[in-house]
Structure 1
Amino acid sequence: MSPAVSSRPTSAVRWRRFLGAAAAGSLLFGLAACSSDDSGGGDDDADTAAAGGDVTVGLVTKTDSNPFFVKMREAAQEAADAGGAELVALAGEFDGDNEGQVAAIENLVSQGVDGILITPNSSSGILAAIADARDAGVLVIALDTATDPEDAVDATFATDNRVAGELQGKWVKAALGDTAPHVAMLDGTPGGTVDTFRHEGFLTGMGLTEDDPAIVGMENTNGDQTKAQAAMENLLQRSTDINAVYTINEPAARGGYQAILDAGRADQITIGSIDGSCSGVQDVADGKVGATVMQFPQKMAEQGVQAVIAYAEDGTAPSGFNDTGAQLITDQPMDGLDSQDTTWGAENCWG
């Protein structure tokens, strides 16, 4: 793996990259995933690289429609504007579009960006493209989702997803009290670091092991509401004992709740989640979900952009994992757990 770059590319190197982009940019841009303009929002200036700009930051998100990534893109644009930099925002066409992200990275390198911020669709499938970018002198920072291995990028700015999962697990365990847990797990996408860390963190918070008989069943949902509803329906058919549900994110929680409601068991099952979107906080306020763990995508984007600007200006490169925080949100506080209520959550949510 290429080591972290300690100094910024020279102007001549960036100019040579731009000349290369002039020859291949149209094709690469066609292969790269959608920009923020394609989703009907965002500033046109954020989607077009300026050859003469002092600092250019590339942002590659998993999709351009998920509210989490919309907030990330908006925050990145604000940070770039404040720092006098230009933002080029690209995205995968769908959650899991690794090939689209590879094409986007190649596009950005050809345009001569100083740094790339990426939320990897695949924690390992993107590694070759990242290595090529770093070999070309581009700073690469992972946002939200760590690569595997983590040192494949220069630095990561993200939620500590093990902590987030653990907070969900601790709250669910406390909410059950003396009642023995019978847990259904609505997981995300196999192999993703976010999915793995949250899953493992939840089990730690609950005091369970992977093969614990308290786990009634596990289903992968890709974090999708419709898939989660179908998965929860299957789990409810298999077991009438379920009294707690782990969810990878709030769309999965929403799908799980609908299945539980349809089964007439909404007052019998405790649901926990992670995200911190405004709709997710409202679900907690409405009693559909017992608690959620708020993430801060705007912090990830802001700090990432600022790091690229600093690198471009004086060669200072960030390193390691940088925790952007997690906050338990619930209207049912539990002893020993730091939490905020949904009023605070509505004031600090995203989406």
Structure 2
Amino acid sequence: MRHRCLAIAATAVLLLTSACTVERQWGGKTTAGEGGKAKVGLVTKTDTNPYFVELRAAAKAAAAAQGADFSALAGQFDGDNDGQVRAIENLLQQGATTILITPSSSTGVLDAIGRARAKGVLVIALDTATDPDTAVDATFATDNFEAGRQQGAYVKAGLQGAAPKLLMVDGTAGSTVDTARHTGFLKGIGLTDASPEIKGHTPANGDQSLAQQGMENLLQRTTDINAVYSMNEPMGRGAYAALQARGLVSKVVMGSIDGGCEGVRNVKDGQYAATVMQFPKKMAEQGVLAAVEYAKTGKKPSGFINTGSAVITDKPLPGIESHDTAWGLENCWGGQK
């Protein structure tokens, strides 16, 4: 009896220190490529962000439709690299045949991914690429450079020939997604980081409150602006609050990226002129289908698979392919439509 209690206590400690959440577990082993049942593990950055909630729900539904086992784990916060490493290790112990992961750090999970692949597990990155991208078998994601370029092209068109006077609200400095969207936006608007048309920029780590504070600080230096870049929709809402307080909303063209339902409603309500929608459901579904194919035949996907992006606006502009917010609300993710 004493040995049994010690074993239970040890298990409890392990669960309490795992720093990740688990949706479901399975037992046993399956050899990929022998027509067996796919055992799909998903590791997201968090389990609370609406984007990853949508991705997890879509993956779970796709797995159920395909008759695959499914287990979802997550870090405790965006940037919890250690939690994601432990999640990968947990999935390996459970006998996963495929691991789908949205890496918090493009380099921090490489050793764990390498161990998984060495055991014959298919590893697919969703949403965020690893560095190098060859660390995984394939990546199913938005082309974030292209999404940034679409936003930049829209803002440029919205200025109707006026020279940009731009403020930039960036995400987390050095992150793959932030860098790609930032450089893509500058390509679309026709500027570089050294361009004098950029009047200021602030990092906001994807956070609405930090974006508002950062924009307020920038506006203390100058209000002579006509364009704003926001790396994602929460930061777009923060930037809008600061602009509104200064009476500048009608004087600037602001874009964003995400395509969440709240973000589409922000566009409809005029908080910013456009957002670029990405499609987490498509990433998840394609990832699960690849996992099922791998379990059946051993065939692996490879390289970068772009799951697309689309400009959403009720102010269409010449030369910019776009959809209106009615379409956006039919196709958005993360909340009440």
For normalisation by structure 2, the TM-score amounts to 0.91
Distance between the aligned counterparts of 1:187 and 1:25, measured in 2? 42
Q: Which amino acid aligns with 1:241?
A: D
Secondary structure of the structure 2 residue equivalent to 1:261: helix
CA contact (8 A) 1:246 1:273 kept: yes
Instruction: Note if 1:56 corresponds to 2:46.
Output: no
Counterpart in the other structure of 1:118: 101
Tell me the CA shift for residue 30 of structure 1.
4.0
| Alignment counterpart, residue 173 of structure 1, candidates 153, 156, 160 | 156
| Alignment counterpart, residue 135 of structure 1, candidates 115, 118, 132 | 118
Change (3 A) 1:28 1:198: farther
Counterpart in the other structure of 1:277: 260
Aligned length: 320
CA contact (8 A) 1:28 1:106 kept: no
Q: Which amino acid aligns with 2:53?
A: V
Distance between the aligned counterparts of 1:264 and 1:108, measured in 2? 52
Counterpart in the other structure of 1:40: none
Tell me the CA shift for residue 28 of structure 1.
5.4
Distance between the aligned counterparts of 1:233 and 1:211, measured in 2? 23
| Alignment counterpart, residue 24 of structure 2, candidates 47, 52, 64 | 47
| Alignment counterpart, residue 72 of structure 2, candidates 70, 86, 89 | 89
CA contact (8 A) 2:45 2:75 kept: yes
CA contact (8 A) 1:157 1:321 kept: yes
Counterpart in the other structure of 1:41: none
Change (3 A) 1:197 1:88: same
| Alignment counterpart, residue 220 of structure 2, candidates 218, 237, 259 | 237
CA contact (8 A) 1:168 1:205 kept: yes
Counterpart in the other structure of 2:85: 102
Counterpart in the other structure of 1:317: 300
Secondary structure of the structure 2 residue equivalent to 1:180: coil
Q: Which amino acid aligns with 2:71?
A: V
Counterpart in the other structure of 2:173: 190
Change (3 A) 1:208 1:260: same
Identity %: 59
Counterpart in the other structure of 2:182: 199
Distance between the aligned counterparts of 1:238 and 1:172, measured in 2? 22
Counterpart in the other structure of 1:75: 58
Distance between the aligned counterparts of 1:311 and 1:104, measured in 2? 21
For structure 2, the residue ranges without an aligned partner over 5 or more in a row are 1-7, 31-36
CA contact (8 A) 2:25 2:94 kept: no
Q: Which amino acid aligns with 1:35?
A: T
CA contact (8 A) 2:165 2:197 kept: yes
Counterpart in the other structure of 2:249: 266
Change (3 A) 1:320 1:77: same
Task: Give CA-to-partner distance per residue, 1:112-148, whole Å, 9 cap, x none.
Answer: 1001101010111111111111112111100000111
Q: Which amino acid aligns with 1:197?
A: A
Distance between the aligned counterparts of 1:82 and 1:229, measured in 2? 42
Change (3 A) 1:27 1:117: farther
Q: Which amino acid aligns with 1:287?
A: G
Secondary structure of the structure 2 residue equivalent to 1:35: strand
Q: Which amino acid aligns with 1:234?
A: N
Equivalence map 1:124-163=2 (5 Å): 124-163=107-146
Distance between the aligned counterparts of 1:239 and 1:28, measured in 2? 53
RMSD (CA atoms): 1.6
Q: Which amino acid aligns with 1:63?
A: T
Q: Which amino acid aligns with 1:299?
A: K
CA contact (8 A) 2:107 2:130 kept: yes
For normalisation by structure 1, the TM-score amounts to 0.88
Tell me the CA shift for residue 89 of structure 1.
0.4
CA contact (8 A) 1:28 1:107 kept: no
Distance between the aligned counterparts of 2:109 and 2:225, measured in 1? 38
Counterpart in the other structure of 1:341: 324
Tell me the CA shift for residue 98 of structure 1.
0.8
CA contact (8 A) 1:35 1:47 kept: no
For structure 1, the residue ranges without an aligned partner over 5 or more in a row are 1-21, 37-45
Q: Which amino acid aligns with 1:348?
A: N
Distance between the aligned counterparts of 1:261 and 1:98, measured in 2? 37
CA contact (8 A) 2:45 2:104 kept: yes
Change (3 A) 1:119 1:343: same
Tell me the CA shift for residue 25 of structure 1.
7.5
